[in-house]
Amino acid sequence: MDSIATTAAAAFESQSAGVAARRQEFGLTERRAALARLAAAIRHNEAPLVTALAADFGKPEAEVILTELLPVMQEIRHASRHLRRWMRPRRVAPTLATLGTSARIRPEPRGVCLIIAPWNYPFSLALGPLVSALAAGNSAIIKPSEMTPATSALIAKLVQETFPPSLVTVIEGGVDASQALLELPFDHIFFTGSPAVGKVVMAAASRTLASVTLELGGKSPTIIGPDADLENAAKWIVFGKFANAGQTCIAPDHVFVHRAVKDGFLAVLRNRIAKAYGTAGTSPHLARIVNDRHAQRLSDLLQDAVGKGAQVTMDSPSQGRDLGPTLIEALTPEMDISSEEIFGPILPIIAYDNIDEVIDQINARPKPLALYVFAKARPQIDRIIAATSSGSVGVNLTVAQFTHTGLPFGGVNTSGIGAAHGEYGFRAFSHERAVLTNHFSALPLVFPPYTARVKRLIGLIKRFLG
């Protein structure tokens, strides 16, 4: 067995040995204390976090605080405030067939959990799920992304200084580390990444029948109606699309804009991009692409589209991993960019005349992680929502649904399985155990032997219950 597999197996065995004890000893007080330690560690490491993410892909400090630090701190605060209620067994009313019994649902820890984090938000998407895992009473092994090495090392240091390895530990490494971990019989696997790798994770989980939460992605469409507030739409789309240089799973992937307002929208969109990021090329307010391979992938997508007739209507001086906001039009289905998730600062603009055509195009593709609608007419908004399917919907805003701890965050089919955040994250890492207690149940009256009297009782019950 090689070194990484040995390390992974040892970490798993250490946590597995404590499962029974944690079920009895890791209660409300202990879970809140663990969350408080995590919050203190994050506050203490704020400056190193900013430095690490700048080293990995040039994230501006303000963006680090907004998109990496605050979401995790908000999850901790929300979980700590509501944990007593989440942990409390829920009473369930008896059915006619179970009169004389009492029923409860007990949320219990699943056990040892694996969190495989992505590179695009390497801190918040590693520690956000950890909050839910700890709140639900589990231990966890975190596999951060090797594509953001400075942040990965910081996560490992922070966890080592904050928790015993029997509760939380970090396994660093590349694909070999992920493969070694996926060979182990975890009780739950929480994966954030691409649909292609999500299938690999789900196949691995099937070998031990581990439960999974998969946060994937897809091409999240944005629709701008003829009555939309164009200034508001431009502000939200520019932020949602170009934050993190477009490397966001719920970023607007492409924009359908009604032909009647297309020119006006493009004018305010260009102005908003210039105001946010300037016109001189590299901006201190714009992150870099994570590595040369992904930068080349984006360049290839753009060249393929232009070679097949797309028109670049706005671009910025770009060099290497520093790619500026780019707007393109005249897309056709045979272009790679029409089917691949862009995951970068390239925004296709697609004019439409009839909303039915847009709905048909959305429904012809895999279900997206998010759908955005900018419009004023409520019937039109409701019609679009009712006629499509997506993990979430943003109306007259983008990406903010991720920050709402009262909403489930997750996809549907190819964009994800299960939900996270707040109580939904707690439930994802919990087993809801049914407990039924007998007090004076009449069911023994119909137990065998099936005499004539018992059969008459069963006949009466059948007639009564339908």
Backbone torsion region of residue 32, taken as left when φ is above 0, otherwise alpha when ψ lies between -120 and 50, otherwise beta: alpha
Among 63, 68, 75, 215, the active-site one is 215
Q: CA–CA separation, 397 vs 234, rounded Å?
A: 10
With beta carbons less than 8 A apart as the criterion, state whether 144 and 161 touch.
no
Residue 97, token pair as written in the block: 């067939």
Place of tokens 């995790």: 72
Does 249 participate in catalysis according to the annotation? yes
Catalytic residue among 113, 249, 341, 423: 249
Residue 341 appears among annotated catalytic residues? no
Are the CB atoms for 200 and 207 separated by under 8 Å?
Answer: no
Q: How far apart are CA 109 and CA 107, in angstroms?
A: 7
Which is nearest to 210 in space by CA: 110, 143, 108, 129? 110
Calpha distance 322→242 (Å, rounded): 12
Whole-angstrom distance, CA of residue 295 vs CA of residue 289: 6
Residues forming the active site? 215, 249
